Amino acid sequence: MQIRHKIAGGDFTRAGNVASAVKKVLQQINIDHKQSKRIVIALYEGEVNVVAHAYSGVVDIDIDSEKIKITIADKGPGISDIEKAMQEGYSTATPQVREMGFGAGMGLSNMKRNSDFMNITSIPGEGTTVELINFIKPDAN
């Protein structure tokens, strides 16, 4: 099963819509609750990062019998030092974004913790791609 969604940068009124749409799909197809909850949390953080830090993004969700794979690709400023960005507390969020309660610098580590595999590639000045994979346990359901 493949699903594609778009994310608009800067639009906090719709941030989280992709994550909640995907959550509903995973519930409908009876994916193990714990794994789907983790991947949806990781997706939410990734979605909010596109809204907060990039200009636009595309999310591809690919579900097969073994895994849920999510790719979030954005057009944006990119991340020049990924290792630094991964550190808890590091954030370049603007004051307006911080006022809404974003910018703790914890999103990427939440994504790491809630996925079985995570890979970030980025070209500064062009954009960032985050890949997330959670494996579906065969004994679930």
Ligand X SMILES: Nc1ncnc2c1ncn2[C@@H]1O[C@H](COP(=O)(O)OP(=O)(O)OP(=O)(O)O)[C@@H](O)[C@H]1O
Shortest Å distance, C-beta 8 to another protein:
15
Q: Which residues lie across from 127 on neighbouring strands? A: 75, 123
Shortest Å distance, C-beta 42 to another protein:
10
Shortest Å distance, C-beta 37 to another protein:
7
The answer to whether the CB of 55 falls within 8 A of the CB of 76 is: yes
How far apart CA 73 and CA 50 sit, in angstroms, is 9
126 three-class SS:
coil
Q: Which stretch binds ligand X (CB under 6 A): 3-11, 23-31, 90-98, 132-140?
A: 90-98
Binding mask 99-118 for another protein (x = CB under 8 A): -xxxxxxxx-xx--x-----
Q: Which stretch binds ligand X (CB under 6 A): 3-11, 13-21, 60-68, 89-97?
A: 89-97
Considering the rule CB under 8 A, would residue 32 count as an interface residue with another protein?
Answer: no
> Tokens 């953080």 sit at which residue?
45
Q: Which stretch binds ligand X (CB under 6 A): 3-11, 14-22, 29-37, 45-53?
A: 45-53
Instruction: Spell out where the chain has E strands.
Output: 2-8, 56-63, 67-75, 117-123, 127-135
Considering the rule CB under 8 A, would residue 12 count as an interface residue with another protein?
Answer: yes
The answer to whether the CB of 96 falls within 8 A of the CB of 48 is: no
How far apart CA 52 and CA 99 sit, in angstroms, is 12
Instruction: Please report, as ranges, the residues that interact with ligand X according to CB under 6 A.
Output: 45, 49-50, 52-54, 74, 76-79, 85, 90-93, 102-108, 128
Instruction: Please report, as ranges, the residues that interact with Mg ion according to CB under 5 A.
Output: 49, 107
